[in-house]
Amino acid sequence: MNGNSLIAGEWLAGEGEFLSAPATGTPRTYSTGTADLVDQACVAAEEAFWSYGYTTREERAAFLDRIADEIEARGTQITEIGSAETGLPAARLEGERGRTTGQLRLFADHIRKGDYLDLRHDPALPDRQPLPRPDLKMAQRPIGPVAVFGASNFPLAFSTAGGDTAAALAAGCPVVVKGHTAHPGTGEIVAEAVDAARQACNLHPGVFSFVQGGGRVVGTTLVQHPFIKAVGFTGSLGGGRALFDLCAARPEPIPFFGELGSVNPMFVLPDALAARGAEIGAGWAGSLMMGAGQFCTNPGLVLLPAGEGADAFIDAATDALNAAGEQTMLTDGIALAYHSGQSQIAATEGVTTKVAETAEGRQSRAAFHVVSAETFRANPNLAHEVFGPMGIAVLVNDPVDFVDLAKSFEGQLTATVQMDAGDAALATTLLPVLERKAGRVLFNGFPTGVEVADSMVHGGPYPASTNFGATSVGTLSIRRFLRPVCYQNLPEDVCLAF
């Protein structure tokens, strides 16, 4: 490992250094990215676009497949350093690596089919009255170089060669990645894999660059660079909103596709609660604790009709959460924010703590609090995400209140309904509200685990994401990096390159 940034095929040092902060093992030294390195990467990406943007679908598909192969060839190395940097278990990283290579191959298959081009043709009508119609053809075309910000919680699937990068490369857009300082070594190895694939496919070196660290200077320079035409981001609401505002304030505003945060409410309807309250409670607790609660689809809020069924749910969830051990969080900063955030919730008047969070440092334990609907309405902070394994149960006296409470929510990535046959009428009333609030509505399941598929939507109204019409998972995500172009009276001897 060299610890530098990959800029258009060359590993270049910046002007300073930073140390990684691994969960285990010895910190490593990395060269800090600079505004100058960002500029070099963006200039090279623009140069690369004139060739890469006009490659065939098969050429780009072969590139994506080769990236997947190169990542798999480095699998053992990636798992070793990824586990040390993040504290994630080997099995989780191996699964995430499979998801990452699966995404790349899914996009390869998707663009080979060509449906994403949305080709349309209105033939000329020269004899139409009162005016003739010209020949019109339309196709989706790549927008240009794309900036991608690596995510802290997914060092593979949402980072260097994750979903944003895969979708942009599939569309024909060169990519400049800002690596996340939570896992710089993992990012470097994956960047090596991408560059090896680029060389094997004989593509322009500016097709992919990877900038280490650099903080706000690198991030700001990247989103404001005139050659960048869109940004993909997964991270905090504060950081994402700041970048979104920078994109909008550019002389040429560009789209910012940010996934920012969600509490992912779960509604347990009366018949389901009465029939299987304890079962649902235990399942919810397992979903809440998965990955130390560091999934963007973590179900941090559950709404229950008060009564015996709610008591059974709460008892089962409490037992499961109390029995769980400590888990290592991704970074010291994330752990500190979790300890602070859940403590503020616990100190709120009207909150009953069922499971207290007692871990320290980079460790975490689950926390579980119960409130009335009245307390929930009176304290807007209870509806805000605390990133980690903390859950809040809201008790309602009348299930009809579910609808009004749902209307009060901000945008969400997911909303879940637990129901039995007798709950169909209430679910039917609730669904129109939930589909306005969330990008994915689940029934009788738990939201952790996002299937990478054609039908998946991983996004939602703000603040879940900054573009309610987009998804960051699944093949539809390629649309973020395309724009429609109409060709009028295109001569037959002028070829379109798809």
Candidate list 259, 326, 486, 492, residue with the active-site label: 259
58 an active-site residue? no
Neighbours of 74 (CB within 10 A): 16
374 an active-site residue? no
DSSP code at position 406: H
Candidate list 296, 349, 451, 492, residue with the active-site label: 296
β partners of residue 417: 267, 443
β partners of residue 267: 303, 417
Residue type, 114: G
Tokens found for residue 436? 């306005």
C-beta of residue 49 within 8 angstroms of C-beta of residue 164: no
CB-based burial label for 454 (10 Å; 0-12, 13-18, 19+) = exposed
Cis peptide before 447 (omega within 30 of 0): no
Rounded to 10 degrees, the C-alpha dihedral 30/34/36/39 comes to 100
Residues making up the chain, counted from first to last: 498
Residue 381 three-state SS? helix
The Cα 275–Cα 313 span in angstroms is: 11
The Cα 186–Cα 198 span in angstroms is: 19
Give φ, ψ of 356 to 5 degrees.
-90, 140
Question: For residue 26, what are the contacts with CB-CB under 8 A and spacing of at least 6?
Answer: none
Cis peptide before 463 (omega within 30 of 0): yes
Which residues have a catalytic role annotated? 259, 296
